[in-house]
Structure 1
Amino acid sequence: MSRPPASPSSPDSEPSDDGFPRRPDRPEHSTSGTARPRSMAVISGIVAAEATALLAAAAWYGVQLLTGAPVLSFWGAVFTLALLLAFASWLYAVAVFLFRGFRWPRAGALVAQLFVLTIGFPTLTGGYPLAGAAMLIPAAAAIVLLFDKRVIRFASRAAGSPPAL
């Protein structure tokens, strides 16, 4: 059951996209009273690109598994494929909710960037400098931008459902 509008004749009484009355003190484009910083879109784009790369790796891994590439354990390979798909979907969720301004995806994005750094450094020093740089540069940029004051201020929306009454 939703709350009735404060005044039926007021323009604010029309429901917003989520079915609740619009609040005049909060603009629709913002979650915490501030405009979305461009760096938030950059971070979300980096995380979404990493999720897409994981999805592509999962697709390649699945094709290799279906074409009969030798594996030690078939079910271990299926489990690895499931982990790749699960992590890619988790990263997509982090990118979407970070872009919306929620608080919890900042930690998830930071952990993902730290994982990318731990893979990127050995890749860079192991003879694949372009692949290593392609991992390290966006991850480092995302980590720096995650601690920007504007990003922290914007990403302060707590998760939770709106009031029922």
Structure 2
Amino acid sequence: MSRDPENSSEAASGPDRDGIGPPPGKPAGAPLRPAGIMVIAVIVALEATALLVAAIWYGSQLLTGAPVLSFWGAVFTLGLLLAFSSWLYAVALFLFRGYRWPRAGALVAQLFVLTIGFPTVTGGYTVAGLAMLVPAVLAIVLLFDKRVIAFASRAGGAPPAL
């Protein structure tokens, strides 16, 4: 039989009578993952997937002999697409884990998407432009939510020695 906690710190850190407490491996005072983090991580991961698909298509066009002005310029563009896609996957993963540094990376990525989305909408491709603008604006708004900031504040320290 368990006893009632005598002070509020025991009540906040320990599991309640149903055995429900903080998830294993997570400190008792750590905030739970807010829905905003999930939404931002999914948006960034989908953007990374779109860049990866574009890189695959671009690479296949390069291999099939599609005419290009500069072969090495095309290879450099392909490398940029692959690097940016990898970077966005890392941002999504570490933001989901609650690290601090990916917030800035996600914000910069969304600002890049906005700079492509606005001309796309005004250029007559409304659906494609809105498909870029709406998730980017949603991610920017959620990045400044206080629950997201509170959760994504973990600094990356050195790993334990043993």
Q: Does 1:134 align with 2:131?
A: yes
Tell me if structure 2 keeps the 8 A contact 1:95–1:105.
yes
Q: Deviations over 1:7-65 (max 9, x none)?
A: xxxxxxxxxxxxxxxxx998535797110001101000000000000000001101111
- Tell me the residue number matched to 1:101: 98
Which amino acid is the alignment partner of residue 35 of structure 1?
Answer: L
Q: Does 1:154 align with 2:151?
A: yes
Which amino acid is the alignment partner of residue 32 of structure 2?
Answer: A
Q: Unaligned stretches of 5+ in structure 1? A: 1-23
The 1:132/1:93 distance shift into structure 2, 3 A limit, reads same
Matched residue SS, 1:127: coil
TM-score by length of 2: 0.82
CA RMSD of aligned residues (A): 2.0
The 1:25/1:126 distance shift into structure 2, 3 A limit, reads closer
- Specify which of 26, 41, 45 is matched with residue 42 of structure 2: 45
C-alpha separation between the residues in 2 aligned to 1:32 and 1:50? Answer: 33
C-alpha separation between the residues in 1 aligned to 2:64 and 2:29? Answer: 50
Determine which structure has greater relative contact order: mean sequence separation of CA pairs < 8 Å that are 6+ residues apart, divided by chain length: 1
C-alpha separation between the residues in 2 aligned to 1:163 and 1:59? Answer: 39
Shift of 1:162: 3.6
Which amino acid is the alignment partner of residue 66 of structure 1?
Answer: L
Aligned residues: 142
Q: Unaligned stretches of 5+ in structure 2? A: 1-20
C-alpha separation between the residues in 2 aligned to 1:81 and 1:115? Answer: 18
Shift of 1:160: 1.5
The 1:111/1:135 distance shift into structure 2, 3 A limit, reads same
- Specify which of 109, 112, 116 is matched with residue 115 of structure 1: 112
Tell me if structure 2 keeps the 8 A contact 1:32–1:154.
no
C-alpha separation between the residues in 2 aligned to 1:133 and 1:88? Answer: 21
C-alpha separation between the residues in 2 aligned to 1:70 and 1:79? Answer: 15
- Tell me the residue number matched to 2:25: 28
- Tell me the residue number matched to 1:20: none
Matched residue SS, 1:132: helix
The 1:65/1:154 distance shift into structure 2, 3 A limit, reads same
The 1:30/1:38 distance shift into structure 2, 3 A limit, reads farther
Q: Which runs of structure 1 show a deviation greater than 4 angstroms over 4 or more consecutive aligned residues?
A: 24-27, 29-32
State percent identity of aligned pairs. 75
